[in-house]
Amino acid sequence: MNKASFKIGTGDSKKGLRAVANPVEVGLDGPLFLMAGPCIIENRTGCLDIAKRLVEIGHRTGVGIIFKASFDKANRTDISSFRGPGLKKGMEILAAVRRETDIPVMTDVHEPSQAEVAAEVVDCLQIPAFLCRQTDLLCACAQTGKPVNIKKGQFLSPGEMKNAVNKICSCGNEKIILTERGTFFGYNRLVNDMTAIEAMKKLGFPVVFDATHSVQQPGGLGNASAGRREMAPILAKAAVAAGANGLFIEVHPEPEKSKSDAATIMPIDWLEDLLKVCKEIFRIVRG
């Protein structure tokens, strides 16, 4: 396959979606970029506040940033856990974020029927790790024509991601990003094999490293996931040194109050300094 290179945030005239001021360049030979935001849409004000801070951080660091938030977390550990505002309300909030902050927006979808609806609003669709083998979902996202970020399942080897890539490509879409987010290591534990980054890059598409989900301890609290957020910056720097094209980092102004992934989501106050270091590592590695 040819080296993939495209921009996220260029708009979509067929859907009446204008381009943002600074679309984010994504590619195997492109600059370092970031996918960031709260794990879940808690409310409109919170999303807008985080997005505005991300825009400022992007300007100061020179790193292209895509805002990410979920309208529904359909894989919460406990039935009573907060799932988000749902598709309709979630799309209204994401549309407001995009319109008012001029930042590209991404969200994940769990069902094929959600893909086209989300594609009317967002610039990139994400396939959750647990669903990366769901053919109908992958194809529905691919057929929107939007870039698709596929998170590698915790149960898959890097090489097996070629099957997910082939499903997207078979639908005529080659705007693909692959995200590494850890591998199951017994119960309630994830480990990271940094060689997975290079292995997936050989599939011909840019690879992102998910620093915050990688420090998760799935189900570690019994009715919720535990985690070690203080390790996320270490893994982010290691992943950039190992050749990652981009980073995925969930952020929140008050992590302990986050309604999802409170143990792993990173304080947004940490982000700017971390990005400056990662950008310098990226420069050194790329020569």
pLDDT of residue 3: 55
Q: DSSP string spanning 177-217? A: EEEE--EE-STT-EE--THHHHHHHTTTS-EEEETTGGGEE
The architecture CATH gives domain 5-286:
Alpha-Beta Barrel (3.20)
* DSSP H/E element including 111: none
| pLDDT tens-digit profile, the chain (287 residues) | 345 799 999 999 888 899 999 999 999 999 999 999 999 999 999 999 999 999 999 999 999 999 999 999 888 788 888 999 999 999 999 999 999 999 999 999 999 999 999 999 999 999 999 999 999 999 999 999 999 999 999 999 999 999 999 999 999 999 999 999 999 998 888 999 999 999 999 999 999 999 999 999 888 778 777 889 999 999 999 999 999 999 999 999 999 999 998 899 999 999 999 999 999 999 999 98
**Rounded to whole angstroms, how far apart are CA atoms 56 and 116?**
31
Q: Residue 128: which H helix or E strand, with range?
A: none
Could you state, in order of their start, the residue ranges of all structural domains in the chain? 5-286
Distance of CA 77 to the CA centre of its chain: 20
